[in-house]
Amino acid sequence: MKRSKTSRQAISNKTIVIAAVAVIAMIALLIIFWQPFIAFFGNPNEIKAVVDRAGILGPLVFIILQALQIIIAPIPGQAVAVMAGMLFGPWLGTLYSLIGALIGFTAVFFLARQLGRPFVERFVEPKHLSKFDKLSTKAGPLVFFLIFLLPGFPDDVICYIAGLSKIPIRTLILISIAGRLPGYLLSGFAGAGIEQGNAWLIASMATAFVIALGIAYWKRKPLESWVMSLLDSDEDH
C-alpha cells in the first residue's frame, strides 16, 4: 500500500514537471515569435491558405490558431471568427471559434493564476494593465461577463487580468463562453455571407456590426464608467 502511494506521488510529480516544462517552452516560443504571429494573424489570406492546406485536419488547425489568437492578446479576434464563417459556414465556424477560444482563454486563466502578475505583464500593455488593474481585485463574475459581451472592451487582454482575480476558473470559463457566443455567431454569419456572396446576409451582418460598434464607440466612456461603478459598488459592500 505504501509503495503504491509512493508510486502515485512520483507519477504526480512527473506530470507537474512535464506540464511546467511545456508551459515554459510555450512562453519562450511566444516571446521569440511574437511579431511573426501578429503579422500572420493580420493576414486573413494566410490563415485561409494554412487551413486549406491542412485538408481534413483544417478544423483542428483552425482551432489551434484560434487558441493562439486568444493567448497572443493584441491580435483582433473578430477577424479570425469571420474567417471561420468563410471556411466552415456559420454554425461550424462559430463552433470551431468557440472551441479554440475555450482552449485559449482557459490556458490564459490557468497561466495567469499560476504564474501571477509578472507573467501577465509580458502580454498586457502597461496602459491596459493600469486602466483595468482594479478588475483583478474588485470585479465579480457579472462585470467580466459584461466586458466579454459588450463591444469596445479588449476582452482578450481582460482574460489575463481575470486570471489574476479570485473568481474560480470554472466560473470564468462559463462567463467567457456566454459572453463571447453572440459575437462569434455574428462573425460566423458575416463570414459565411462573404464566402457565399450573399448580399442580404452580408448587409445584415455588416449593419449589425456597424450599429454595435457605433454604439460602443459613442457610449465607450459611459460603458467604462458603468463597469467601474459596478466595481465601486462591490467595494462598498
pLDDT digits (tens, 9 = 90+) for 84-122: 988 998 899 999 999 999 999 999 999 899 888 888 888
Distances (CA, A) of 86 to 49, 63, 174, 214: 12, 14, 26, 24
- Of 130-134, 182-186, 233-237, which one has max mean pLDDT? 182-186
Q: What is the mean pLDDT of residues 128-149?
A: 78
Assess if residue 37 is contained within a domain: no
Asked if 19 and 131 sit in the same domain, the reply is no
pLDDT digits (tens, 9 = 90+) for 19-77: 556 555 655 555 555 556 556 666 667 778 888 888 899 999 999 888 888 887 555 56
pLDDT digits (tens, 9 = 90+) for 170-201: 999 999 998 888 888 888 888 887 777 766 66
**pTM (two decimals):** 0.72
Asked if 108 and 140 sit in the same domain, the reply is yes
Asked if 171 and 62 sit in the same domain, the reply is yes
Q: Is the pLDDT at 203 greater than 50, yes or no?
A: yes
Assess if residue 134 is contained within a domain: yes
Asked if 2 and 60 sit in the same domain, the reply is no
162 or 237, which is more confident:
162
Assess if residue 167 is contained within a domain: yes
- How buried is residue 48: exposed, middle or buried, by Cβ count under 10 Å (0-12/13-18/19+)? middle
Asked if 85 and 53 sit in the same domain, the reply is yes
Asked if 191 and 122 sit in the same domain, the reply is yes
Separation of first and last alpha carbons in the chain: 51
Q: What is the mean pLDDT of residues 141-160?
A: 79
Q: Which of 123, 119, 99 is nearest to 111 (CA)?
A: 119
Specify whether the backbone of 198 is left (phi greater than 0), alpha (psi in -120 to 50) or beta: beta
CB atoms within 10 A of CB 60: 14
Assess if residue 38 is contained within a domain: no
What are the phi and psi torsion angles at 94 (to 5°)? -65, -40
Domain containing 137 equals 43-236
